[in-house]
């Protein structure tokens, strides 16, 4: 196998593949990227950790057809270290090594038998959605931050994707807060409801891979896998086998206290108060009265922070505590100039959203302070 291509053509797709490959693998082959070339100017590269598989493509490649499995991190680091306008040649040798040349630079890298490289085996896809890449990326970024991390309730360590109409709903929760949004699908192949829990790593990689453009992407499902096809990337992930909580029951109804606040001002106030919160619990106290909100925090060293901001509110006074980190992450995901905070009583969850937006909501559990 002999390849000739530019550094620019190789680096970006190699970035996508190498990010999936784990640095420390029990199986040495999983540290490698599978390179396949059919001799017709298009080269494919595959990386996997047996849970997630990414296939990317390089155009404008010349050489002799063949395949090899080469260490993904080493190939990426070599490619990145070369000059931007570098031309690269990669040749597989019969002694189980590959020679990488560019200008006067030469690298000899160990390879493994390509036939040992694993593939994620998938069955036929039962449903396919189509939607713009920017819309899918937006839905992921609006909600994925609320996923749990290494929770024993394994079904929380992922993002729920739901479709039972012409909309896609994404939901994430760690048991203390919940993020939910809805976006419009361009089409879907069947009317059957789909509920799929996509693992955290897959969502992280998709957020990295999907570009913010209007190109249509295809998202397919079967009982065990999700499959995403973009312009030059094919992405497959196993799904989490579990039952996600009923998110509709978590979203509060009949919240009678509506507070309108300038989003940036609210963020800045919470950031200042967060400096002196308890490092473990990170609680802030909000005292809401007509026209203003006071924000306070303290810590075990008896240090205190206090601030006050103007709000639009005419209801009854209320005092409630929240985790400041959860509040700030929700505010970071909201893009409107103002934010609406909905409350009912000090012991019930609060809702953050853009004013009047029922499709994208952030629910935060209260704290006792």
Q: How confident is the model at residue 23 (pLDDT cuts 50, 70, 90)?
A: confident
pLDDT(26) > 90: no
Check whether residue 58 and residue 135 sit in a common domain: no
Check whether residue 243 and residue 256 sit in a common domain: no
Q: How confident is the model at residue 121 (pLDDT cuts 50, 70, 90)?
A: confident
DSSP state string for 104-149: TEEEEEEEE-GGG---------SEEEEEEHHHHHHHHHHHGGG--S
Check whether residue 138 and residue 99 sit in a common domain: no
Count the domains in the chain: 3
Residue 369 is assigned to a structural domain of this protein = no
Q: How confident is the model at residue 369 (pLDDT cuts 50, 70, 90)?
A: confident
Residue 323 has what pLDDT? Answer: 98
Q: How confident is the model at residue 169 (pLDDT cuts 50, 70, 90)?
A: very high
Residue 62 is assigned to a structural domain of this protein = yes
Check whether residue 161 and residue 85 sit in a common domain: no
Beginning with the edge strand found earlier in the chain, give each strand of the sheet holding 318-323 in spatial order: 304-310, 292-298, 283-289, 318-323
pLDDT(206) > 90: yes
Shortest CA distance to 369 belongs to which of 278, 308, 266?
278
**Residue 155 is part of a domain; what is its CATH number?**
3.10.150.10
The string of pLDDT tens digits covering residues 50-94 is 999 999 999 889 999 999 999 999 999 999 999 999 999 999 998
Mean pLDDT of 191-217: 95
Judged on CB neighbours under 10 Å (0-12, 13-18, 19+), 344 is middle
Please give the helix or strand (H or E) that residue 352 lies within, else none. Answer: strand 350-353
Residue 366 has what pLDDT? Answer: 97
The string of pLDDT tens digits covering residues 29-40 is 999 999 999 988
Q: At what angle do helices 200-209 and 133-143 cross, to 10 degrees?
A: 140
The string of pLDDT tens digits covering residues 304-335 is 999 999 999 999 999 999 999 999 999 999 99
Residue 237 has what pLDDT? Answer: 97
Pick the last residue of a domain from 222, 248, 274: 248
pLDDT(252) > 80: yes
Q: How confident is the model at residue 261 (pLDDT cuts 50, 70, 90)?
A: very high
Write out the two tokens for 56.
């990317």
Residue 362 has what pLDDT? Answer: 98
CA atoms within 13 A on the CB side of 120: 22
Residue 361 has what pLDDT? Answer: 98
d(CA 275, CA 296): 11
Check whether residue 92 and residue 134 sit in a common domain: no
pLDDT(165) > 90: no
What torsion, rounded to 10 degrees, do the Cα atoms 286, 288, 293, 296 define?
Answer: -20
Q: Is 348 helix (H, G, I), strand (E, B) or coil?
A: coil
Residue 122 is assigned to a structural domain of this protein = no
Prediction pTM value: 0.93
**Per-chain mean pLDDT for the chain:** 95
Check whether residue 103 and residue 138 sit in a common domain: no
The string of pLDDT tens digits covering residues 329-356 is 999 999 999 999 999 999 999 999 999 9
Residue 272 is assigned to a structural domain of this protein = yes
Pick the last residue of a domain from 116, 148, 177: 116
Check whether residue 101 and residue 136 sit in a common domain: no
Check whether residue 143 and residue 97 sit in a common domain: no
Residue 69 is assigned to a structural domain of this protein = yes
Residue 144 has what pLDDT? Answer: 97
Residue 215 has what pLDDT? Answer: 95
Mean pLDDT of 129-140: 97
Pick the last residue of a domain from 116, 139, 162: 116
Residue 11 is assigned to a structural domain of this protein = yes
Check whether residue 232 and residue 334 sit in a common domain: no
pLDDT(25) > 80: no
Mean pLDDT of 188-213: 94
Check whether residue 256 and residue 242 sit in a common domain: no
Q: How confident is the model at residue 276 (pLDDT cuts 50, 70, 90)?
A: very high
Check whether residue 301 and residue 350 sit in a common domain: yes
Check whether residue 170 and residue 266 sit in a common domain: no
Q: What percentage of residues in the chain have a pLDDT greater than 70? A: 100
Residue 121 is assigned to a structural domain of this protein = no
Q: How confident is the model at residue 42 (pLDDT cuts 50, 70, 90)?
A: confident
pLDDT(41) > 90: no
Residue 306 has what pLDDT? Answer: 98
Residue 222 is assigned to a structural domain of this protein = yes
d(CA 269, CA 206): 33
Range of the domain at 358: 252-364
């Amino acid at each position: 196998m002999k390849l000739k291509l530019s550094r620019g053509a190789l680096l970006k797709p190699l970035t996508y593949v190498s990010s999936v490959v784990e640095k420390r693998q029990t199986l040495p082959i999983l540290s490698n990227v599978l390179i396949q070339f059919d001799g017709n100017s298009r080269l494919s590269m595959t990386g996997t950790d047996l849970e997630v598989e990414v296939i990317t493509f390089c155009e404008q490649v010349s050489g002799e057809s063949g395949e090899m499995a080469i260490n993904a991190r080493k190939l990426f680091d070599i490619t990145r270290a070369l000059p931007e306008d570098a031309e690269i040649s990669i040749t597989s040798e019969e002694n189980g090594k590959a020679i990488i040349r560019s200008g006067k630079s030469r690298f000899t890298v160990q390879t493994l038998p390509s036939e040992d490289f694993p593939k994620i085996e998938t069955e036929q896809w039962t449903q396919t959605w189509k939607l713009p890449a920017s819309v899918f990326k937006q839905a992921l970024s609006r909600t994925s931050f609320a996923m749990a991390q290494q929770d024993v309730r394994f079904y929380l360590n992922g993002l729920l994707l739901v479709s039972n109409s012409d909309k896609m709903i994404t939901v994430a929760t760690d048991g203390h807060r919940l993020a939910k949004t809805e976006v419009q699908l361009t089409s879907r192949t069947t009317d059957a409801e789909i509920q799929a829990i996509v693992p955290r790593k897959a969502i992280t990689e998709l957020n990295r891979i999907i570009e913010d453009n209007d190109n249509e992407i295809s998202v397919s499902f079967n009982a065990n896998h999700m499959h995403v096809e973009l312009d030059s990337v094919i992405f497959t992930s196993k799904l989490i086998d579990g039952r996600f909580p009923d998110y509709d029951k978590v979203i509060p109804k009949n919240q009678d206290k509506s507070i309108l606040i300038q989003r940036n001002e609210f963020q800045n106030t919470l950031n200042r108060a967060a400096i002196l919160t308890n490092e473990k619990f990170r609680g802030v106290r909000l005292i809401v009265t007509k026209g203003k909100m006071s924000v306070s925090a303290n810590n075990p060293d008896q240090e205190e922070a206090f601030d006050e901001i103007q709000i639009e509110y005419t209801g009854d006074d209320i005092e409630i505590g929240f985790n400041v980190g959860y509040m700030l992450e929700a505010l970071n995901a909201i893009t409107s100039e103002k934010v609406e905070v909905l409350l009912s009583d000090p012991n019930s969850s609060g809702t953050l959203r853009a004013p009047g937006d029922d499709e994208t909501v952030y629910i935060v559990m209260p704290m006792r302070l």
